[in-house]
Amino acid sequence: MPTATHTAIEFTHYGPDRLPEIRGTLTEVYTEVYAGQLSEPYFSIERFEKRLTAHAARPGWGAVVGYADGQVVGCAYGSPLPAGTRWWAGMLRPLPEAETAEDGTRTLALFELMVRKPWRGAGNAQLIHEELLAGRPEERVTLLVEPAHPKVRALYERWGYEHIGDQQPFPDAPIYATMLRHLPVAA
- H or E element that contains 97: helix 97-100
Residue 187 confidence class, pLDDT cut points 50, 70, 90: low
Cross-strand partners of 78: 62, 110
Return the SS3 of 33: helix
Q: Amino acid letter at 126?
A: Q
**Cα separation of 99 and 176, whole Å?**
18
Residue 186 confidence class, pLDDT cut points 50, 70, 90: low
The verdict on pTM exceeding 0.75 is yes
Encode pLDDT of 2-24 as tens digits.
Answer: 444 456 899 999 999 999 999 99
User: What is 10-182's CATH number, 3.40.630.30, 3.40.50.1100, 3.40.50.880, 3.40.50.150?
Assistant: 3.40.630.30
Q: Residues of 37-75 as b/e, b for ≥16 C-beta within 10 angstroms?
A: eeeeeebeeebbeebbeebbebebbbbbbbbbeeebbbb
What's residue 147's pLDDT?
Answer: 84
